[in-house]
Chain A
Amino acid sequence: MKGFVVHVPDGFFNAAVSVSAGAVAAAGLAVCLRGARRELDDRTAPMAGLVAAFIFAVQMLNFPVAAGTSGHLLGGALAAILVGPYTGVLCMAVVLLVQCVFFADGGLTALGINITIMGIVTVVVGWGVFRLVARLTKSRGGVTAAAFVAALVSVPSAALVFSALFWVGGTAPIEVSAVAIAMGGVHVLIGIGEAVITALTVGAVLAVRPDLVYGARGLTRSLVLRGADGTIAGEPVTVAAEETAPARASVKPFLLVGLGLTLLLAGIVSFFASSSPDGLEAVAENKGFLGQATGHVFGRWALADYGEVGGIPVGIAGIIGVGLVLLIAGGVAYAARSRAKVRV
C-alpha cells in the first residue's frame, strides 16, 4: 500500500467532505498567499514557482530503500524548512494543482482534500515541529535533527487527517479503525524514510549554502577597497545588514494558524459526522436503493460500531501510534541536543 502518496481521485470522498476540504484549502491558501508576500515581496511568484518545480522534480527522485524497492519524497516538511511555511504551502499546493489540472493526477473535486492533506497538514505540522525542536538545539546539527523529527511527524499526521476525513465522508465501507491503523502504521514507516531523506537533504543544503535554508541567513562583513596593484586603500567600509534578509517567521502565528485550521476542520468534521447522510444519498435511500446494503455507510456506520481491531480499541491504538511517533521524535531531539552540547 502506497498510502496517499497517490493523489485522491474523484469519488473517494463524498461531496460534503470534498467541498469542506476545498473551503479549508482555499482559506489556508489565502493565509499563505499573504504570508509569502510578506516574506518574499515581489520575488514570490518566481521563487515559489521555481521551488514548486523543484518539489515536483524531487518527488520523482527514487530513493533506494532496499534491494528492488524505492521510496519517494512527499516534500511538505522539506519545503517548509527550506523556504518557510507560507511559501512551502504555496509550493505544495501549486504542485498538486498542476498535477491535477495538467496531468489529470488527482480528482478535480478531490483537489481540496489533496491540498489540505498533502499541502497544508504536512507543511504546518512539519514547520511547527521543526521550530519546536530547532529551538532546543541552536546548531547546524540541531537543524538537521529538527528536520528529521519534523518530517517524521508530518507524514503520519497527514495520514491521521486522511483517516479522520475518511471517517466522516469516505465512500468505502471499511472499518475506520482499520484505515487509521493501516494508514498510521504504513505512514510511520513512510515517515521514517521521509525523515531520513529530508534531514540529509537539508543537511546537504546547509553544508553548501546555509544562507538558503529559511531562518538561517548569513551576516554581512565589512568591505575592503583594493587598488589596481592589490594594496588595500583607505578605511574598511561597513554596510548595514542586507534588507533582503527576511525577518524570521516566529513560530507563534504559525501555530495559531495551524490550530485555527485544525479547529475549522474539526468543526466541519463533527458537523457532518453528527448530521444525517448528505442530501443525495438520503434521496437515494428514500427510494429504497441503498436500503439494507449500504444504509450504514455514511456517518452512522462510522459512529455505530467501529469497536476493535485485534482486540485493541481504536482510540487506544491511535494513542499508541501517536505516542510511538512522539517517542521517536523526542529521542532524536534529545540525541541531537546532547550532541550539540558535546560539540560546544
Chain B
Amino acid sequence: MGAGHHHQLYLAGDSVVHRLPPQCKLLAVAAFAIVVVATPRERFWAFGLYAVLLAGVAVAARVPLTYVLRRMAVELPFVLFAFLIPVIGMGERTTVLGVSLSVAGLWAGWNILAKATLGVVASILLAATTEPRVILIGAQRLRLPSLLVQIAMFMLRYMDVIMDEMRRMRVARESRGFEARNFRHIPVIARSAGALFIRSYERGERVHLAMLSRGYSGRMPMMDEISGSVGQWATALALPAVALAVLGLSL
C-alpha cells in the first residue's frame, strides 16, 4: 500500500479532456489499456507512440508532467520487481555491464515496465481530469451494477471522515505517550482498529436511518445524467482508436 492513497488525484480544470463525459473517458482508458497490454513487447516503437499519445492527452488536459510523475509512485514496487526479473529469470543468459542476466527476463522486465507505466499514466490522467463523483456517474452510464456504484459512492463520501477518525485516535494514543514500536503493541492498535470498525458500522447505520428519514425505500434517485454527444465520443475514443491502429501496424 502506498502512503499516497488518500490524496485525491483530481486536478480541477476546464480543458477539452475535463469536459468530456465520464463514460467516454472511462471506456477510452479501458480500451487503451487493453490495446497496450495486447501489444507484443518487441515493438519498442509502438510503446513509444503510445507514450506520445498519452503525452498529447496530458498537454490537452493541461496536467503538468511533474504531477503525473509524482503520482506514479504507486507503481514503484512493481518497477523494482521488473528490474529483479532479469536477475532471477531462467533460460539463455547474456552479460550486461558485467552482470549475467536472463534474456527472457530482460524481455519480461521491459514488458511489465512498459505496459504497467502506460496503464498507470492513463489511469492518472483519467482521475486527474474527472471528479470522483463524475466518474461514478460514468460508471453508472456504462451499466456497472448500480448497487456497486452506490457502495463506491458511499465509500468515497466517508473515506475522509473515517481517515480523520483514525487520525484522531492515533493522536489520542500518542498524546498519552503510546508509540507502536514492536509486536507487543499490536493489541493496542488492534483495539483501535476494532473501535474504528464499530464507529464505521454505526455510522453506516445512522446514514441508513438518515436515508430512511427522507423517504429512501431501496432505490437511489438517479444522480444527474450526463450524456455524451457523438463528437465527444469520437474525441474520447480517438485515443484507443489511434492506439489500435498502432497495434495493427505493429503486427
Does chain A touch chain B in the assembled complex, meaning CB atoms less than 8 Å apart? Answer: yes
User: In the complex where A64-B180, A101-B123 touch, is A9 in contact with B201 (Cβ < 8 A)?
Assistant: no
User: In the complex where A42-B217, A67-B181, A102-B135 touch, is A82 in contact with B120 (Cβ < 8 A)?
Assistant: no
Distance in angstroms between the alpha carbons of A207 and B104 in the assembled complex:
54
Within the complex, which residue of A47, A292, A293 is in contact with B201, where a contact is CB–CB below 8 Å?
Answer: A47
User: In the complex where A42-B217, A50-B203 touch, is A66 in contact with B120 (Cβ < 8 A)?
Assistant: no
CB distance B104 to A204 under 8 Å? no
**Is A174 at the interface (CB under 8 A from chain B)?**
yes
Residues 200 to 235 of chain B near chain A (Cβ within 8 Å)? 200-201, 203-205, 207-208, 211, 216-218, 220
CB distance A102 to B8 under 8 Å? yes
CB distance from B128 to the nearest CB of A (A): 9
CB distance from B51 to the nearest CB of A (A): 14
Distance in angstroms between the alpha carbons of A292 and B74 in the assembled complex:
34
CB distance from A33 to the nearest CB of B (A): 5
Within the complex, which residue of A11, A44, A47, A65 is in contact with B112, where a contact is CB–CB below 8 Å?
Answer: A11
Residues 1 to 19 of chain A near chain B (Cβ within 8 Å)? 2, 5-12, 14-15, 18
**How many residues of A sit at the interface, in one of the four size bands?**
35 or more
**Is A48 at the interface (CB under 8 A from chain B)?**
yes
Distance in angstroms between the alpha carbons of A284 and B42 in the assembled complex:
8
CB distance A102 to B156 under 8 Å? yes
**Is A271 at the interface (CB under 8 A from chain B)?**
no
CB distance B194 to A53 under 8 Å? no
CB distance A297 to B108 under 8 Å? yes
CB distance A102 to B119 under 8 Å? no
Within the complex, which residue of B89, B127, B154, B197 is in contact with A103, where a contact is CB–CB below 8 Å?
Answer: B127
What is the 8 Å Cβ interface bit string for chain A, positions 41-66, against chain B (1 contact, 0 not)?
11111111111111011111111111
CB distance A46 to B208 under 8 Å? yes
Q: Which residues of B contact A94 (CB under 8 A)?
A: 148, 151-152, 155
**Is A294 at the interface (CB under 8 A from chain B)?**
yes
**Is B182 at the interface (CB under 8 A from chain A)?**
yes
Chain B interface residue count, Cβ-Cβ cutoff 8 angstroms = 101
Q: Which residues of B contact A12 (CB under 8 A)?
A: 78, 112, 116
CB distance from A69 to the nearest CB of B (A): 9
CB distance A64 to B104 under 8 Å? no
CB distance from B247 to the nearest CB of A (A): 9
CB distance from B115 to the nearest CB of A (A): 2
**Is B40 at the interface (CB under 8 A from chain A)?**
yes
**Is A108 at the interface (CB under 8 A from chain B)?**
yes
Q: Which residues of B contact A53 (CB under 8 A)?
A: 154-155, 158-159, 161-162, 200
CB distance A54 to B90 under 8 Å? no
Most chain A CB within 10 A, of B6, B107, B113, B145, is at B107
Distance in angstroms between the alpha carbons of A293 and B92 in the assembled complex:
7
Within the complex, which residue of A29, A62, A99 is in contact with B145, where a contact is CB–CB below 8 Å?
Answer: A29
CB distance A293 to B103 under 8 Å? yes
Q: Which residue of B lies closest to A74 (CB)?
A: B1
Distance in angstroms between the alpha carbons of A48 and B147 in the assembled complex:
10
Distance in angstroms between the alpha carbons of A95 and B5 in the assembled complex:
11
| A-B pairs with beta carbons under 8 Å apart, 14 shown | A9-B75, A9-B116, A45-B153, A47-B204, A51-B204, A60-B3, A61-B166, A66-B182, A95-B155, A100-B123, A101-B139, A173-B89, A204-B193, A281-B40
**Nearest 6 pairs between A and B by C-beta?**
A49-B154, A11-B115, A204-B194, A10-B119, A200-B190, A50-B204
Binding site for B on A (CB under 8 A): 2, 5-12, 14-15, 18, 29-30, 33, 36-37, 41-54, 56-67, 70, 72-73, 82-83, 90-91, 93-95, 97-105, 107-109, 171-175, 178, 196-197, 200-205, 207-209, 212, 280-281, 283-284, 289-290, 292-294, 296-297, 301
Q: With contacts A10-B119, A11-B113, A104-B124 known, what are 13 further pairs, Cβ within 8 A?
A: A6-B77, A11-B115, A14-B37, A42-B217, A43-B205, A43-B208, A46-B208, A49-B150, A51-B200, A62-B180, A174-B85, A178-B88, A202-B194
